[in-house]
Amino acid sequence: MKELQRIADDHERRIRALEGRRPEAPALAPPAPRTEQRTEVVGPYKWQLGEVGTIYFDFNRFDIKESEARKLDELVGKIRESGREVLVVGFADKRGPSSYNFNLSMWRAQMTASYLAKKGVDIGKIRVAAYGKEIVDLLGRDFEAQRVVKIYFIH
């Protein structure tokens, strides 16, 4: 049971990191001061995330459309120039079973990461995550806004 709680807590921290919110402070601690860059705790890591871009996908697809490939091409230079690690996070809209949507989200993120690597981004600096449909309402209620991969700099 403790293992399940640890996993649930880890997922909650990941969700908060993607939302751009700070993890909740313990009840006795004063709130942390707000800064321009936010430090997020994800598992054993403390990351500062800065959004680089968003790539959109068609319904039930994980291939990168030509228009989105052009957007990725523009981001490659920015990513390579920064020398920073990137976090590539996949999502799916709310339709369909959770397990299928999680896999679809991961395929989208992996395809995007693969595209970046083929264009010269150091594969060792790319991290991949997927959240399926469970938190997509944070991205908007429109299904098209939910079928995305978000790319973040890890500072």
- The residue type of 133 is K
Residues 84/125, Cβ–Cβ less than 8 Å: yes
Residue 146 to residues 19, 38, 82, 83, 110: CA-CA distances in angstroms?
A: 14, 24, 28, 29, 17
pLDDT band, very low/low/confident/very high, at 17 (cuts 50, 70, 90): low
- If you average pLDDT over residues 98-107, what whole number do you get? 91
- The domain ranges of the chain are 2-154
Q: Does the pLDDT value for residue 33 go beyond 50? A: no
- If you average pLDDT over residues 15-40, what whole number do you get? 49
Residues 55/151, Cβ–Cβ less than 8 Å: yes
Confidence at residue 25, expressed as pLDDT on a 0 to 100 scale: 46
Q: Does the pLDDT value for residue 30 go beyond 50? A: no
Confidence at residue 131, expressed as pLDDT on a 0 to 100 scale: 87
Structure confidence by residue, pLDDT tens digits, 128-150: 999 877 777 777 778 878 889 99
- If you average pLDDT over residues 15-44, what whole number do you get? 50
The dihedrals phi and psi of 142, each to the nearest 5 degrees, come to -75, 130
Q: What is the fold, at CATH topology level, of the domain defined by 2-154?
A: 60s Ribosomal Protein L30; Chain: A; (3.30.1330)
* 12 token code pair: 């909650």
For the stretch 11-14, contacts whose Cβ atoms lie closer than 8 Å and that sit 24 or more positions apart, written own/partner, are 13/40, 13/41, 13/42, 13/43, 14/42, 14/43, 14/129, 14/131
pLDDT band, very low/low/confident/very high, at 117 (cuts 50, 70, 90): very high
Q: How far apart, in whole angstroms, are the C-alpha atoms of residue 8 and residue 81? A: 36
